[in-house]
Structure 1
C-alpha cells in the first residue's frame, strides 16, 4: 500500500529529518570532516606517538578484558537467577542492576574509599592497609576490576532476557537423555545463547571503551591512561591545533566502537538459531538442599560489590576530614550541609542535571514516539526515515560520550551563523548532546511496542476521517505511552548521573552532578565528593523504586528488573 503524506503528517516527517540532521548528522559529520580534512598525515603522526599508542592499547586491553570478565560474571548470575528456583529473584535482580545505574565516577570514589588505607569499614575490621602504602586500585587491575563491576549488570540483563526465550522442551529432552550439567550447557544452552552472549560482550566492551570516570580517577594515578582520558588531557591543554588533534583521536575511538558493533551483528547472524513455537515459562532447576548455600553466596556477592563501597562512601561523608575514624564523637553532617545548602556549585549541579536530563527524557520520549510511528508504518518514505534515524541512534550510542561532546564542540564553538547565538559553555549544549547520546535508550522500548501494533487500527481511523494528529493522540499514543514513559525514565536515570558527555562541555554555571563530583575528588575534597555521591545514589535508588512501582502496571520486560 502506498500513501502520500498530507498536511501535518508531512510536516512531522520533515521535522524528524530536521532534528536528525541537527543532532546526529551535523555533529558527527563535522567530527569526521575535521579529522579527515588534513589527510592521513595526522593519523600517521599519532600512530607514531608513544602516548597515543599506549593509550590506544590500554583502551583495547581494559575494554576487552573487562568485557570478557563482565560477560562471565553476568552470565553466571543470569543463569543462577533465571534458571533456578532461588528465592527473592525480584530483589536480587534489582540489587544486581543497581551498580549499572550508579555513575562510574561515583563507583570509583566509593571503591577508593572502601579499599584505601583510610577506609572506615576496613579500619573497623582492623584490616586496612598501612597509612602511606599505595592504593591497590591505582593500577591496571583496579581499572579493569571496577569496569567489570560497572558493566557486569549489562551482561546480566542481556543474558537474563535471553534465558527466558530458551526452548524448554529441548533442555528437558537433553536432561531426559542423560545429559549432565556440563554437557547440557556445552551442547544446548551455549549454542542457543551465543547471539546474546556476543551482544552482551559487545555492549560491555563499547561501554568500557568510552568510560571516562573510572580510568580518570584510578588509571591516572597508576599511570594507566586510556583514550578518553588522553582526549580530555589534550583538550584541556589547548594549543593551535588542539581541536584537529582531538577530533582525530576521537575518530579513532569512534571507528573502533562502530567496528565492534558491526562485528557483533555479523557474529550474531552467524550464530543465529531459528526457533519456532509459542512462548514458554522459563526453566526452573531445583537447587534442593543446596539452595540456602547458593542464596548465601549471592547475598555475599551483593554485599561485596554493592554494600561495602556504599557503606564506605557514607562513612567518609560523615567525617569532618578524610582519614578521621568514624565514631559518635567525629560524626558530622557538615559535608551534606555544604553540598546541599552552603555551596552554590553543588546546588546548581543538581538543578542543572535535573533540568537537562528531564528535558532530554521528555523530548526523546516524544521524538521516539514519532520515529517509531513512521518506522512501523506502511509508507516507504516513512519507514526509510524511521529506520535511518534508528541506525543513527544505534551508532551514536556505540560512540563514546566523550567523542559526542567533541563533535558538539566542533559545531557550536562559534556562534550559530545568521542568528549570532552562542551555545558553547551553556547547559543547552549539554542538553543537545544528551539527545544524541541517549536516543537509542528511549527509542528501543517504543520501537518494540510499535512493532506489535496492528496497522488495521490506523487504517480504520483513517477511513473514519481521523487526521494524523488525531490518530496519534487517540489511538497510537495511548498504546505506546507506557513504553515511552519507561524509556524516558531510563534516559533520565542515565543522563542524570553521567560525566562522560558533560566532562568537556560544562562551565561555571552549567555544572552537572557528574562533573561536580569528579572535580571534588580530583581536587582533594574527598569528603564533599563522598557526600554528594551519597545524595546522588540515594536519588537514583528512589527513582528506580518509582520506576519499579510504575512497572507493576506495564507489560513484562518494559522495566528491566521486573520479569
Structure 2
C-alpha cells in the first residue's frame, strides 16, 4: 500500500496542505510564544501570574471546541454577531473555513507550547548571568538580548518542534474548519479512509499514518537537539526585570487579546446554545433551553458520551498513576530510562498514529477483533498516548527525594512494599495526583483516537461535538462544548490544588 501513495493525487494534495498548515501554525506559534516570553517571563509585568494562566489556557481547550467556538463567533449566522448588529451579510463565507482559520487557531494552541518550553529553559539559567551583565554597565534590554536570549534558543527550538507536531496531527480544528472549506489535511484524510468500506481501508489508513509520522520527524529531531543543548543550572533562580512602560502597554494589549481569544468565543457558544437555530439573533424573546433539554434528556447521546469520557479519563488516570510510581523510583536503571523515553515518543507522535496502531494491534491478535469499537480498545490507546503525562511529574518529584530516607527505612528492616507505602508514597502523592489530573484533563475531551476507534455505544464527548456539528446540530454542539469547557475548568482547579506542593513547572499553568 505504501507503493501506491505516490500515485494518489489526493494524498499529495493532503500532504501539501498539511505541511502548509503545520509550517504556518509553527511560525505563528513561535512569534506569539516569543512575545509572551518577553512580556511574562523576562519582565515582572503587572498581573503576571494571571496573564500566564490565561495565556496557557488555549492549549488546554479541546481543539474541536476551540474550532466550533470561533466558527460560531465569526460567521454570518452567528447569533452573537447578529445580536450586536455586526454580522457579515448572509451568504458570506465564514472567514475561518479554510487554511487561514486553521493556521490561526493551531498557532494559538501552539503558542503556549513555545512559552512553556522557554520557561523550562529559563528555570535552568542562573540569575547571576544577568547580574554580571548589569554590573558591566549593560542596560536591561541589551542584557536580555545579548545574554539571556541566546541561552533560550534551545527552548525556542523545542517549542517549535512541539508546535510542529501538534499542528501536523491535529484533527479537531482541521476537520471542523477544513471540511466546510474543502481543505483536506492528512488527519482528516486518514479518518475518511478509515471510515470507508472494503479491505483496503485499514491498509490505506496505516500507510497514511506512517507518512504522517515521517512528516513529524523534523519536530521530534528539533526537540532532541534542543534537549542536548540544555543543561542543569546552578545558583539563584532567574528573576524577571522590572516592567517598564513598554511592558505595561504590552500587558494592556495582551489583556485585550486574551479577551478576544477566550471570552468572545465562549460567549458565542453560549449564544448559539440558547437560540432556536443558527442565524437567529440571541435576545430575551428568542432565548430557549430546548437544545440543552434535548442534549441532556434521559437516554440521550450526551449522557452516554459523558459517562464514556469520564470513565475513560478516570480509568486512564488511575492506571497510569499506579504504573508511574514504581517506574519513577527505578529511573536510575538504564533499561527503565529507555522505556520511559519510549513513553515520551508515543506522546510526541500525532494521535492519529496511536489510534491506527491500536486498531492494527487489536485486529492482528487472535480474538482481538472483539475489542474493535469497544471502550477497552480506546482505553488501551489512551494508556499508550498519555503515559508520559503521568510519569513526568512523578519522575521530577522522585528525583528530589532524599535517598537517606529510603536507606534509613531499609536499615530499620522495612521491606520494599513497606517503604513504598510508608515512605515514598506519601511524599509523591501530590505528584501522582497532578499527573493523573493532567491525563484526565486531556483524555476527557480527546477526539482523534476516539473518532478512529469508537463504535456503537462508545461515543465520547469529543466525537459527539464533531458529529453534532457535522450533522447540522450546531446549537446542541455548542451546549455540549460548554459542558466540555466546564469539565476542563473543574479538572484544572483540582490540579491547581494538588500542585501547590509541587516544584515549579510541574503543571503547565504554574511555571
For residues 462 and 232 of structure 2, what CA distance do their matches in structure 1 show?
Answer: 44
Distance change in 2, residues 1:80/1:350 (3 Å)? same
CA distance in 1, matches of 2:49, 2:339: 35
CA contact 1:198–1:268 (8 Å) conserved in 2: no
Which residue number in structure 2 is paired with residue 78 of structure 1? 37
Contact 1:371 1:389 in 2 (8 A): no
Alignment of 1:123-202 (within 5 A): 123-177=82-136, 179=138, 183-202=142-161
Residue 103 of structure 2 aligns to a residue whose secondary structure is: helix
Q: Which residue in the other structure is 1:559 paired with?
A: 507
Alignment partner of 1:499 is 2:455 = no
| TM-score, normalisation: structure 2 | 0.95
1:438 equivalent in alignment to 2:395: no
CA contact (8 A) 2:362 2:368 kept: no
- Cα distance between partner residues in 2 of 1:162 and 1:351: 39
The alignment's C-alpha RMSD in Å is 2.1
Distance 1:194 1:162 in 2: 9
Residue 236 of structure 2 corresponds to which residue in structure 1? Answer: 279
TM-score, normalisation: structure 1? 0.86
Q: Does 1:522 align with 2:470?
A: yes
- 1:329 corresponding residue in structure 2: 285
Partner residue in 1 for 2:265: 309
Instruction: Say which of 68, 88, 91 aligns to 1:109.
Output: 68
Q: Could you say which residue in structure 2 is the equivalent of 1:457?
A: 405
C-alpha contact (below 8 Å) 2:125/2:238 kept by paired residues: no
Q: In 2, distance between residues paired with 1:554 and 1:387?
A: 22
Distance 1:420 1:306 in 2: 43
Alpha-carbon distance, 1:281 to partner: 4.6
**1: CA distance between counterparts of 2:186 and 2:217?**
16
Distance 1:61 1:291, change over 3 A: closer
In structure 2, what is the equivalent of residue 402 of structure 1? Answer: 352
**1:125 offset after TM fit, Å?**
3.5
SS of match in other structure, 2:430: helix
1:389 counterpart = 2:339: yes
Distance 2:501 2:238 in 1: 20
1:458, distance to aligned residue in structure 2 (A): 2.7
Moved more, 190-199 or 253-262: 253-262
Provide the rounded CA distance (Å) in 2 between the counterparts of 1:336 and 1:393. 40
Shift of 1:276: 5.0
User: Are 1:248 and 2:204 counterparts?
Assistant: no
Deviation at 1:216, TM superposition (A): 0.8
Q: Secondary structure at the match of 1:74?
A: helix
The alignment of Structure 1 onto Structure 2 pairs a total of residues equal to 511
Task: Structure 2: give runs of 5+ residues left out of the alignment.
Answer: none
Q: Where does the alignment leave 5 or more consecutive residues of structure 1 unmatched?
A: 1-41, 377-382
Q: 1:54 is matched with which residue: 7, 13, 22?
A: 13
* Helix, strand or coil at the partner of 1:497: coil
Provide closer, same or farther for how the CA distance between residues 182 and 86 of structure 1 changes in structure 2, counting only shifts above 3 A. Answer: closer
